[in-house]
Structure 1
Amino acid sequence: MRHWAWALMVVAVPATATGDASIESVDVDLILERSMSRSPGMSLAPDLYLELEPEIEISLVHSHRARWLIGTGYGGCFDCDELFVQDEGPWNGTGLAGRWHYGLAGLHFDDFSPLKPWLQLGGYYQHSWGWLSIETQPYVGIALANRDQGNFDFFNIPARIRAAPVSFLRISFEPAFNSRIEDFLDWYALSIGGGVEVLLPADFEVGVYLGFPRAYGQLNDSGDRHLAVSLGWHGRP
């Protein structure tokens, strides 16, 4: 079960690349996330993005930033404590997603014990004005199993506003609104996050992010704070 998504990626990429599409770029991110409100308090999450032609992206993601597009939050894959000792149990927070033009679809697992899969259906839009850009990815999550054990339908409306005042620096502000579909008035939250990314030589970049997943709403918890540090690489085959 832990390796299902990697197997799907291995099968899907050659099948796509042999058609009219070709791999334009590869992005790899490794994100260390620290939660101030849960135990184990740390996670180490790798993300992989393949940009294909024409305007197709396939991603295998584990981090909260990649799966939710909001600030920071508790990611998945490797749960560990402050000494980087992995927590017992299978990996949590895994997803395989695809984006084509303005459409978005994916299959994600928040937990494996009990199994909590959900289907992601939504859209994607990005626009730039010189050094300023905005990106949004609204979607609904449809629970596929174990609704009686905490798996539920929800929607998420995130945005990422990014400024690049100089060529090697990016500053982002990342608000989002999310809620359960069934009991909207009793379960909603406004998330706020942001970060700074510095571009390095050899196509590497580092980033630092701070997020408040439940900054306002019925689930308001100002103590729910998350800090993330990322190392990324962007290359072309």
Structure 2
Amino acid sequence: MSQRILIVEDEPSISELIAINLLHGAYVVDRAFQADEATQLIRQTMPDLIILDWMLPGKSGVQFAKELRANEATAMVPILMLTAKSEEADKVLGLDSGADDYMTKPFSTKELMARVKALLRRHSRAPSQDELMVLGAMRLDPVTHRVTAEWPNATRREIVVGPTEFRLLQFLMSAPERVHSRAQLLDQVWGNEVFIEERTVDVHIRRLRVALAVAKCDAYIETVRGVGYRATRTPSPNADGDKS
């Protein structure tokens, strides 16, 4: 599955140069020219990495990086900051704002690609097979093969889900906020050697939501129209979880 990178750069020539190199590297690329535009793109599809320019119109890259780190949904997304500022104090400020790495302009595209790969490797550790997963009120334990949730009276009770729905929920919870297409879910949950229709995913998503609705947790599984599904940490209060 290709990793998605968001470029937030207001100079079209630099944005285009970076995008071309990333596309040649088989990454999926989104582009924004200011922070507000980037925020809208992130709400639609969570990137695996953000390449962020320091000097942006309106809201600066430093300010935007601080906001990304303060937001639970984007707190763990790696940020590579680009800037013409090369003084040590500027680099420290950029890293203190939440950037994971820092490159000064002009830069080598080969070095940029190497740093992108290094950041993605560093942040793409898959959850352990026995690692407890938590999403809102839900907990998924791969060892005991149980899903539990806190009921309104603060007691924790088990949610009964089928084996396929368990694997589906486990995969979605392993990457909160990331949108997965039906084809990607079929590949990751059912396996690429299983030949079934993509609409099968909708059936199992519906079953999963019905099971989670008992604990009022169905809204944690969101439909992204025209794209696929995601697990979210911040479900909409008006979400209708039963629609797919």
Normalising by structure 1, report the TM-score.
0.23
Where is the strand percentage greater, Structure 1 or Structure 2? 1
Answer 1 or 2: which has greater helix percent: 2
Q: Higher RCO, 1 or 2 (CA under 8 Å, sep at least 6)?
A: 1
